[in-house]
Amino acid sequence: MINKVVYSVIVPLYNEEIVIEESYKILKKVMDCTNENYEIVFVNDGSKDKTKEKAEKICKNDEKIKLINFSRNFGHQAAITAGMDLSLGDAVVVIDADLQDPPEVILKMIEKWKEGYEVVYRKRTKREGETFFKKFTAKMYYRLLKSITSVDVPVDTGDFRLIDRKVCDALIALPEKNRYVRGLVSWVGYKQTCVEFSREERFAGETKYPLKKMIKLAFDGITSLSYKPLVIAGYFGGLAFLIGIILMGITIEKGVLNKTELMNFGMIISITLMMFGVTLGCMGIMGQYIGRIFDESKGRPIYIIDSTTNYAYERK
């Protein structure tokens, strides 16, 4: 009889050839401490280096390790989603490959899970080895997100968390394409708690989150949880209209009294530019939502699997 899988550890991988072996070793050591059956699900998100070969080698020697290879790079959130879709555990842990989040914390998360919590996330008390820009923008972003959503998204948490099978199934049932998994975990609810610890430097290699991907993720977070930006865009329109009316009043009054010319060329240009800025900015915000509606309407899958290893029904 096949042993029931109690824990699934999902590890998204994008060009992680220099960290994958160390990650595997440490994760295995930690998970062996549980004395329960587990699986580690490596999701290779279209890596261009030797990540796939190295992962396959690990899988060959250890059948607890499973591998999902995407047909191309679909992004971190898609990789996490695939890991959840194919996971079997009663509890599912998501952790980055770079060991920035100490894997030992998983044991603490498991303790909390056994106490009856269905979501255990971690709060970063300190972040090491990241640029001031990244730390600052992340801090501001989490606070902005919290202030504009009605969902209680905990601040300063990444995707490193443990979720119960119930939560995992609820997430799998959500069909949206541009996923912001940590926000969706808050959205589904259930009994949630946190463990605190600091975030270390990347074990090796460099961040796979360039600014472009970070901005995309930030917009996914906001648009999937709130439509307040659209409301604010409307307010801007109202404000611009009001300023226009006031300026018109002043101009007419000055004209009637035949005093100095208020509406000189520079003034007209600057007001026009300002209004264009507001209009295009608001259109940009609308574009963020419309683009995502378009993505949903196309109904394409979140990711495409090219091959798998160590699954009962392997795809080659």
User: Min. distance of Cβ 266 from Mg ion in angstroms?
Assistant: 49
Out of ligand UDP, Mg ion, none, which partner does residue 13 contact, by CB within 5 to 8 A per kind? ligand UDP
97 makes contact with ligand UDP (CB under 6 A): yes
CA–CA separation, 299 vs 239, rounded Å? 38
Place of tokens 């990241």: 130
* Contacts of 161 by beta carbon, 8 Å cutoff, 6+ apart: 93, 94, 109, 119, 120, 121, 122, 182, 185
Out of Mg ion, ligand UDP, none, which partner does residue 45 contact, by CB within 5 to 8 A per kind? ligand UDP
Between 17 and 118, CB nearer to ligand UDP: 17
Q: What is the phi/psi pair of residue 154, to 5°?
A: -65, 140
Among 35, 40, 34, 84, smallest CA distance to 58 is for: 40
98 makes contact with ligand UDP (CB under 6 A): yes
Between 56 and 200, CB nearer to Mg ion: 200
Residue type, 57: K
User: Min. distance of Cβ 88 from Mg ion in angstroms?
Assistant: 26
Maximum CA pair distance of the chain?
A: 96
- Exposure string (b/e) for 250-273, b if CB count within 10 Å is 16 or more? eeeeeeeeeeeeeeeeeeeeeeee
CA–CA separation, 158 vs 148, rounded Å? 19
Packed helices 265-298 and 228-257: angle between N→C axes, nearest 10 degrees? 160
Region 85-104 residues binding Mg ion, contact defined as CB under 5 A = 96, 98, 100
70 makes contact with ligand UDP (CB under 6 A): no
Task: List the x/- string, 5-34, binding to ligand UDP by CB under 6 A.
Answer: -------xxx-x------------------
User: Min. distance of Cβ 118 from Mg ion in angstroms?
Assistant: 26
Region 71-90 residues binding ligand UDP, contact defined as CB under 6 A = 73, 75-76, 79
Return the H-helix or E-strand segment holding 11.
strand 7-13
Candidates 58-66, 103-111, 206-214, 280-288; binding stretch for ligand UDP (CB under 6 A): 206-214
208 makes contact with ligand UDP (CB under 6 A): yes
Region 32-51 residues binding ligand UDP, contact defined as CB under 6 A = 45
User: Min. distance of Cβ 181 from ligand UDP in angstroms?
Assistant: 11
16 makes contact with Mg ion (CB under 5 A): no
* Radius of gyration of the chain measured on its C-alpha atoms: 25
279 makes contact with ligand UDP (CB under 6 A): no
Query: What does the binding site for Mg ion look like in residue numbers (CB under 5 A)?
Result: 96, 98, 100
